Structure 1
Amino acid sequence: MSRVVRGMEVVYQRVPGDIGGSARNMGNGGHNQRSHLQLFGQAKEQIDDIFKEIGQFVQETDTLVDEIGTTFQEILPADVSAKVKGYKEKVQDIREVIQRKGMKVVVFGRTSNGKSTVINAMLRDEIMPSEVGHTTHCFIQVEGSDSREACLLTEESDQPKNLELLEQLANNLSDQRLKSNSLIRIRWPKDKCRLLREDVVFVDSPGVDIDTYNDFWIDQFCMDADVFVLVASAVSTLTQTEKNFFHKVSSRLSKPNIFVLQNRWDECAKAKKVEDVRRQHMERSIAFLVDELKVVDKKTAEDRVFFVSAREALVSRLQQDKETPVPSGVLRIGYEKRLSEFAKFENQFEQCISKSAVKTKFEQHTVSGKSITSDVRGIMEQAYTTSLQLKTNQEKKRQDKEGELNVLEKELTWLNDDTIKALVEEMDRKVKKALEEEETGRLSALVEQYDQPFCADKVKDYKKGLNARVKEEEIGRDLKDAFLASINTIEARMADQLPSILRNETRPMPYDLIPNRDDWMARALNCHNLYEDFEEDLNFKLPSSLQLTETQVAYLQAAGAVACVAAINIETVAPAAPVVPAVICSVNMLPKVWEWWVWTDKQKGKAFKQQYKMYVSSKLTDIKSECRSMVDGELSSNFDQLCQQVKRTKDQLQEDLDQLNVTISKLGGDLWQVQISEGQG
């Protein structure tokens, strides 16, 4: 029989040497025949490869999610990492389940109907204990093993045991037999049996007529079965016990796959009405499957009922594998047809179990795989969308930072020593103008307008009155206002520049430029007591125009006298010029005469006012100089700090820009990885 693959369907075609040839080739074609069971193996391999790729996809996603979570927590919710790790573990679990999944067939029937012989015939070896009467006492599962040595395992221990113990543990006639609801697992070398190589698992059972554990059996051993084989006896009819058991199976499983083998058909070979018996068994079996269990339609049921002799199939196959003829008398009349029927059963069985197993074993895993892939792909799409938006935002921030840095670098040309110098000079001009044009003029007018009579004996009272008048008129007010206005202007101009230079979090308020301004200005611009330390000097001093030279004094002494007239300028007196005497005195008495003649209270009052104006003006000038020096010092100091602050701002902007470049580059890499992951998904 050759295999033709059409899509996912495997079709077998008959070739010379297959069933229908010599008696030796009757049966399932031997250990090396290629069968429908390969569909399951192919599907198993394919779905394992698919889940391997899904596992790689989820693993890469997990790595990417961890990297994203380390650098960009805002891209994905906090629970995504745990969710992806859960998917990774789930995929690993599914792969482990797929790799150990097999196609399971469970054989049931009454005692001595030949259940164990059917399994032995299909396995082409005498593995199960098979004797006359009630032989199999518990459940026996036969599964393939990569080992070359057969062994058995019990539920009590995972320690492999010698296969010879099977007769003691499973045979009903043994005193050491296990309970009927126990399970013995036989690990049989795969290279000895094609069906085991194809991942078929056989389960033999005790007779359904000898125990009441039916419900437990179904729950324990049948819920994951792909095919059930009911081994009936062709020499009798289906019993209600057999039917009741499968009614329970059908109530727990949705439309189970059930085959009915009318075994021991060779014993009916010599019956006179053998065809009538066959028709009766066929009708009743079909009615049981279609009308009672309602698991298949009539057409399908016709391919689920077979008339066989498991004993003949086993004997012929054992001899075929040994390449020895079957002993005469072992095979009864018509055995060729029964062997062909058994092979037909196996062919239908293999088609059914492979399709059923692919659906039952892998369908749910396929759904899970799609769900996992869809969820992980959704996570990647979310990561891509969020990363793209974040990258766009970061690029916008970078653009803004670059703009800030460019503006800062341009405006730094304004922030230099010449700026402070120019501002202070401008302030100095305004204050000087206020002092010379306003304050000094007000002071002079106020003093000159002070009309109280001056008396040398009452200078203190006169000064007190003048001081009160100066205080009342707030001399120094214009100077103070000019200073304050200039400082405010300086601060305003600098404050106007700072917002574009400094970042918001480091930008000082205008009044921060000159800390404690009010305190030191209150001390520096104290104009309330400008006159407190004023001391007048009313002592007479001969004018320099009346000072005689040594030549003039010598001449006058030689003449014996000097004539002094108030209107005469002594410097014009020549040695030979005549003198008109008004007052005759000695040369040494001249200053006293002049003081007596001109140094009156009126002249003293004028001198007092002049000295007073000069003193107060000088005090205002000192205040101006002190304030200028203080402002210059404060601004220079704060200017240095401001320059450092601007430098820090510039450095921070550059650092932010560098970090944004790194972030954008990393986001670009993440986007690329996410796109690759999405493509794999």
Structure 2
Amino acid sequence: MRDNWMMSSLINRSISMVSNGVHNQSNSHLNAMNGQNITSTDSPLKLFVLAKKTINEIFLDINAFVTECHDFVNDVNEEVISKDQLSRVDSFTAKVTGIRDVLTRDHMKVAFFGRTSNGKSSVINAVLHNKILPSGLGHTTNCFLQVEGTDEDEPYIVVDDKPNTRLNIESVQDLANALTAGEMGDSTLVRVFWPKSKCSLLSDDVVLVDSPGIDVSANLDEWIDKHCLDADVFVLVSNSESTLMRTEKNFFHKVNEKLSKPNVFILNNRWDASASEPENLELVRKQHMTRDIDFLTVELNVVDTEEAKDRVFFVSAKEVLQARTQRPPVNSSAFPDGFQIRYFEFEDFERKFEQCLSKSALKTKFAQHTKRAQRLTSELSHILDAIQQKSNQLMTSKCEQRNELMEKLQFIEQQMHLLTDEVKHQICHLVEQVEVKVSSALTEEIRRLSLLVNDFDRPFSSDCLVLGVYKKELHSHVERGLGSNLRARLSTALTCNVESAQHEMIERVMNLLPPQEQQKQFNYSLTPRQNFEILYRINCESLCSDFQEDLEFKFSFGLIQMIRRFTKSNDYKKDFNKSLPSTAPQTPSNSEVVQTSSVLNTDALALIDKLSLVSPQSHTTVGLLGVSAFLVRTIGWRLIAITGSVYGLLYIYERLTWTNRAKESTFKRQYVNHSTRKLKLIVDLTSANCSHQVQQELSSTFARLCHLVDEVIVDIQSELKLLDQQIQRLDEYSSISRKLKNRANFLANDLNKFTDDYLNI
């Protein structure tokens, strides 16, 4: 009666599952018994496949986003991003790459453990609807066997120590069977690749792992580390003919220590043996259920009591495998009593473990990666936000600097225009002063030239060779003396005026330079020349090169000398009379005297000229004869004799006193007269030359100052250009970081949606 009730309950549950669209065919249990695969249209495993595809697409976008951020931050200036932020962004690339690699390999992993000969391989074969793994009496599986799907049409196997070598599927019997001679190590992994087209479970990214018996090996810790840490569901296959053993419990205690609350299902296999003892079936079932629930809830503390009831099942994997693989289909009556109940319970196990597997795999495989991605995008968003804020702050600061520099540049240019006009006016005024002062001082020195010439004390001789050397030395003496006197009169005052003007220019220009530039240029450039001196270029040798001295003896009272003096005096008087108004009328007597005198003068001069033509060698003799002839006619011989004696004595006296000193004095007097005339001709030229020197000095000083200002202007313009580039770059940083931050927000929304759709169900 109990069996009939259970049978009815399972049949009703199957009908309900069909009505909800879980199975494709109405009589799924019959199809199962006929060995046909069951394909669920809304299998919970499909959720994992869809979630895996979705999260991989999201991480593909995250990887592109992180790569773009990495390239961006490496291009960002150091003043915008810190080294810590840069290193964090660099680490994100490796993190995302690692997560993507894990996600592409991630699958739902179910690990089957139990004691030897409890039917682990048979359970896996029954789940796969194919006898893939070796199974039978005794210790069969001697290593770990991992069954996973492949897109290829033919199955094959790969041993973990030879990953590039494919073996035929039939060799799995020899490699993994403990009964064969070539026994492998119990920790070795043999990967069995089965076509997904032959098994819907494998097409849903499910991997099943078979293990050796936990009672035949001491390498449990190594097993757990190598094969269990990434498992989503553990299936403990126990023998329902006995009870849970300490060996089984110890293994799962170790698993529970390394994994936080693992998902454990307990399959009491070989439940078909209960058909031979129907009177004790319920008692044995209750005993197993109580001990299994107590193990899950109390000892492992992985689930509560209600959930633990859905984790314990009583099945016969051998019956299910036989029903699913035999051709032609066998009749259910060929199996022991209660077969249908055990078969439906195996299906119930498959359904619940698939639900648990999908839910657990979603959380274990994707939840942590999703949280890491959320933290990563959040950190990147904060870094990008910091870059944007820093860029905006720096851009504001740079714009203020640029405005200040522009104002400074305009101020300097405006002040330089004003200063240039003022300096030009000042230089012109100072040049005029210099020209007037030099002209006045040189004129005064020309008046005092005789003193300078008389100070020349060198041996004098009328010899041509000696006289030539004497003249050269006199030229040099006069040139040095004039230069020295002019320097004594003018240089100090003129130099002070020039330096004062230079210092004023420098001070005005320094006020236009930056403080640091002022100190620098003051030490090197903004100092007036200390060796400036006005040069008074008076080249007496070339100026007086046409000077010809006249050192022949000339009697002071000679007729020609007297006449020359007289004519010069009359010329002077005539010039003077012409300049004065005539106030007294002339009398006839005066008129006659003047006419007589004019006639006499004319006759005497004519006679003298004739005599001089006859004998031009002696002007004194000619003059004496002329005067004697004139006096004989007008005065008596006595008076003539007395006058002649006195005249002769004077002549003898002057002739005796015509010494070398007298010649030197005459030479100097002639030189003074000649030099005075020549020097007067160059007064304007010399003053203009001196003023030009001053103008050139001041102009060169101002030109140097202008060059310094131009350099400052060029530096400011270069700095403005650099600021413009920096502002443009900072604006680009702000714009790019804003766009990337928006992308980070979009990715965060995708991750949140993924969490809501797949992880919070």
665-674 or 154-163: bigger deviation: 665-674
Q: Which residue of 1 aligns with 2:177?
A: 171
Pair 362,551 (structure 1): closer, same or farther in 2 beyond 3 Å: farther
Provide the C-alpha distance between the structure 2 equivalents of 1:384 and 1:440, rounded to a whole number of angstroms.
80
Residue 486 of structure 2 contacts residue 536 of structure 2 at CA under 8 Å; is this kept in 1?
Answer: no
Give structure 2 stretches of 5+ with no counterpart.
1-16, 452-477, 539-543, 575-597, 609-638, 655-665, 745-761
Pair 649,102 (structure 1): closer, same or farther in 2 beyond 3 Å: same
- Counterpart check, 1:491 vs 2:494: no
Q: Which residue of 2 aligns with 1:554?
A: 602
Q: Which residue of 2 aligns with 1:154?
A: 159
- 3-state DSSP of counterpart to 1:231: strand
Q: 1:422 aligns with which of 418, 425, 443?
A: 425
- 3-state DSSP of counterpart to 1:518: coil
- Counterpart check, 1:217 vs 2:241: no
Pair 16,408 (structure 1): closer, same or farther in 2 beyond 3 Å: closer
Corresponding letter in the other structure for 2:139:
H
Provide the C-alpha distance between the structure 2 equivalents of 1:191 and 1:37, rounded to a whole number of angstroms.
16
Cα shift at 1:355: 2.2
Q: Which residue of 2 aligns with 1:367?
A: 371
Q: Which residue of 2 aligns with 1:50?
A: 58
Q: Which residue of 2 aligns with 1:662?
A: 725
Alignment of 1:110-509 (within 5 A): 110-158=115-163, 159-269=165-275, 270-318=277-325, 325-327=329-331, 329-411=333-415, 413-414=417-418, 422-431=425-434, 479-499=490-510, 505=517, 509=522
- Scaled by the length of structure 1, the TM-score of the pair is 0.75
Q: Give a deviation string over 1:318-366, Cα, whole Å, max 9, x none.
A: 36xx7x5324544332222222211221222122222222222233323
Cα shift at 1:225: 1.6
Pair 627,80 (structure 1): closer, same or farther in 2 beyond 3 Å: farther
Q: Which residue of 1 aligns with 2:533?
A: 521
Residue 80 of structure 2 contacts residue 391 of structure 2 at CA under 8 Å; is this kept in 1?
Answer: yes
Residue 506 of structure 2 contacts residue 705 of structure 2 at CA under 8 Å; is this kept in 1?
Answer: no
Q: 1:671 aligns with which of 707, 720, 734?
A: 734
Residue 402 of structure 2 contacts residue 720 of structure 2 at CA under 8 Å; is this kept in 1?
Answer: yes
Residue 536 of structure 2 contacts residue 686 of structure 2 at CA under 8 Å; is this kept in 1?
Answer: yes
- 3-state DSSP of counterpart to 1:521: coil
Q: 2:68 aligns with which of 53, 60, 78?
A: 60
- 3-state DSSP of counterpart to 2:130: coil
Cα shift at 1:654: 4.0
- The root-mean-square deviation of aligned C-alpha atoms, in Å, is 5.2
Cα shift at 1:97: 0.6
Provide the C-alpha distance between the structure 2 equivalents of 1:559 and 1:274, rounded to a whole number of angstroms.
191
- Scaled by the length of structure 2, the TM-score of the pair is 0.68
Residue 285 of structure 1 contacts residue 305 of structure 1 at CA under 8 Å; is this kept in 2?
Answer: yes
Q: Give a deviation string over 1:589-647, Cα, whole Å, max 9, x none.
A: 9xx99xx9xxxxxxx9xx99x99xx99x9899887554322222334455566666655
371-380 or 92-101: bigger deviation: 371-380
Residue 247 of structure 1 contacts residue 293 of structure 1 at CA under 8 Å; is this kept in 2?
Answer: yes
Residue 438 of structure 2 contacts residue 690 of structure 2 at CA under 8 Å; is this kept in 1?
Answer: no
108-117 or 210-219: bigger deviation: 210-219
Provide the C-alpha distance between the structure 1 equivalents of 2:384 and 2:600, rounded to a whole number of angstroms.
117
Cα shift at 1:408: 4.6
Corresponding letter in the other structure for 2:140:
T
- 3-state DSSP of counterpart to 2:49: helix
Cα shift at 1:83: 4.3
Provide the C-alpha distance between the structure 2 equivalents of 1:140 and 1:81, rounded to a whole number of angstroms.
45
Corresponding letter in the other structure for 2:246:
Q
Cα shift at 1:258: 1.1
Corresponding letter in the other structure for 2:74:
D
Provide the C-alpha distance between the structure 2 equivalents of 1:551 and 1:282, rounded to a whole number of angstroms.
181
Pair 335,478 (structure 1): closer, same or farther in 2 beyond 3 Å: farther
Pair 441,132 (structure 1): closer, same or farther in 2 beyond 3 Å: same
Q: Give a deviation string over 1:182-212, Cα, whole Å, max 9, x none.
A: 2111011122222212221111111222233
Pair 436,623 (structure 1): closer, same or farther in 2 beyond 3 Å: closer
Alignment of 1:9-28 (within 5 A): 14-15=20-21, 21=27, 23-25=29-31
Identity %: 36
Q: Which residue of 2 aligns with 1:579?
A: none
Pair 133,31 (structure 1): closer, same or farther in 2 beyond 3 Å: farther
Corresponding letter in the other structure for 2:120:
K
Pair 519,489 (structure 1): closer, same or farther in 2 beyond 3 Å: closer
Q: 2:103 aligns with which of 82, 98, 101?
A: 98
Provide the C-alpha distance between the structure 1 equivalents of 2:741 and 2:422, rounded to a whole number of angstroms.
59
Provide the C-alpha distance between the structure 2 equivalents of 1:196 and 1:511, rounded to a whole number of angstroms.
86
Corresponding letter in the other structure for 2:45:
L
Residue 307 of structure 1 contacts residue 338 of structure 1 at CA under 8 Å; is this kept in 2?
Answer: yes
Q: Which residue of 2 aligns with 1:34?
A: 42
Provide the C-alpha distance between the structure 1 equivalents of 2:23 and 2:526, rounded to a whole number of angstroms.
108
- 3-state DSSP of counterpart to 2:136: coil
- Counterpart check, 1:631 vs 2:700: no
Equivalent residue pairs, number: 619
Q: Give a deviation string over 1:494-544, Cα, whole Å, max 9, x none.
A: 3245347667759854995786x332317x3899xxxxx9xxx9x999878
- 3-state DSSP of counterpart to 2:267: strand
- 3-state DSSP of counterpart to 1:133: coil
Q: Give a deviation string over 1:403-443, Cα, whole Å, max 9, x none.
A: 34433543454576x76653332113444666689999999
Residue 147 of structure 2 contacts residue 209 of structure 2 at CA under 8 Å; is this kept in 1?
Answer: yes
Corresponding letter in the other structure for 2:38:
G
Residue 480 of structure 1 contacts residue 525 of structure 1 at CA under 8 Å; is this kept in 2?
Answer: no
Cα shift at 1:170: 0.9
Provide the C-alpha distance between the structure 2 equivalents of 1:519 and 1:626, rounded to a whole number of angstroms.
18
293-302 or 245-254: bigger deviation: 245-254
Provide the C-alpha distance between the structure 2 equivalents of 1:623 and 1:557, rounded to a whole number of angstroms.
44
- 3-state DSSP of counterpart to 1:126: coil
Give structure 1 stretches of 5+ with no counterpart.
1-10, 449-466, 528-532, 561-582, 597-603
485-494 or 119-128: bigger deviation: 485-494
Structure with higher helix content: 2
Pair 138,438 (structure 1): closer, same or farther in 2 beyond 3 Å: same
